[in-house]
Amino acid sequence: GQQLNQSPQSMFIQEGEDVSMNCTSSSIFNTWLWYKQDPGEGPVLLIALYKAGELTSNGRLTAQFGITRKDSFLNISASIPSDVGIYFCAGLRDNNAGNMLTFGGGTRLMVKP
Amino acid sequence: NAGVTQTPKFRVLKTGQSMTLLCAQDMNHEYMYWYRQDPGMGLRLIHYSVGEGTTAKGEVPDGYNVSRLKKQNFLLGLESAAPSQTSVYFCASSSGLELFFGPGTRLTVL
């Protein structure tokens, strides 16, 4: 069943606002990844995190690998309309087990111009 | 490079019918995956393959079969479709941790 709890499930914000979303688990993950899915498309990788405590940025996006290895956070600064989509966190436990990822339920982001 | 392609894009089936979803990748990736996406459930792994001729069960394999006869292709079969299999199906491939997803197949089972 679902092992990654992602929140919030949806957000409706004004253009220019900052956004925060997070992902938590009762299990430890060795790698955390954040994907974005545009409407009608498959998910695309945004950021990958490989070490507990790691903070990584990709443009206006910043993600952190929690110290406990049981959570991760994604922040988007100064949102724009093209940020609309569903954001998924994903965790990887065993790097040698076919790279099978566990996905969170997603955060649907809507941006009002 | 086309990346990961899926056919068909849409399909409507009646309960009990069978069908095969085709996934093709031109990136020479070893790993290929089939996921289903349902509202609020994220992406759940159905089956995966770590190389040509190999397949393994994922989180929700029941009711599905797969085959990887060629490295570039990964087929997902539904032998007897059920309404619970109404979903959007995504294929993905990878050579490392970054998964490259196809555009998805929207399947409705009546």
**Per residue in B37-82, pLDDT tens?**
998 778 999 999 999 999 999 989 999 999 999 999 999 999 999 9
All residues of chain B having their beta carbon less than 8 Å from the beta carbon of residue A40 are 103-104
Q: How far apart are CA B37 and CA B58, in angstroms?
A: 14
The pLDDT, as a whole number, for residue B75 is 98
Q: Measured between CB atoms, does B71 come within 8 Å of chain A? A: no
- Partners of A64 in the β-ladder: A55, A73
Out of B48, B50, B101, name the one closest to residue A42 (CB).
B101
The predicted-structure confidence for A59-111, as pLDDT tens digits, reads as follows 999 999 999 999 999 999 999 999 999 999 999 886 556 667 889 999 999 99
Mutate to test the interface with A, among B57, B91, B99 (most CBs of A within 10 A): B99
pLDDT of residue B6: 97
Cβ distance B31 to A2 less than 8 Å, yes or no, reads no
The token duo for A55 is 């903070």
**Average pLDDT score, chain B:** 94
Each residue's pLDDT tens digit, A18-55: 999 999 999 899 999 999 999 889 999 999 999 999 99
Inter-chain touch A101–B50, beta carbons under 8 Å: no
3-state secondary structure of B84: helix
Q: CA of A62 to nearest chain B CA: how many angstroms apart?
A: 18
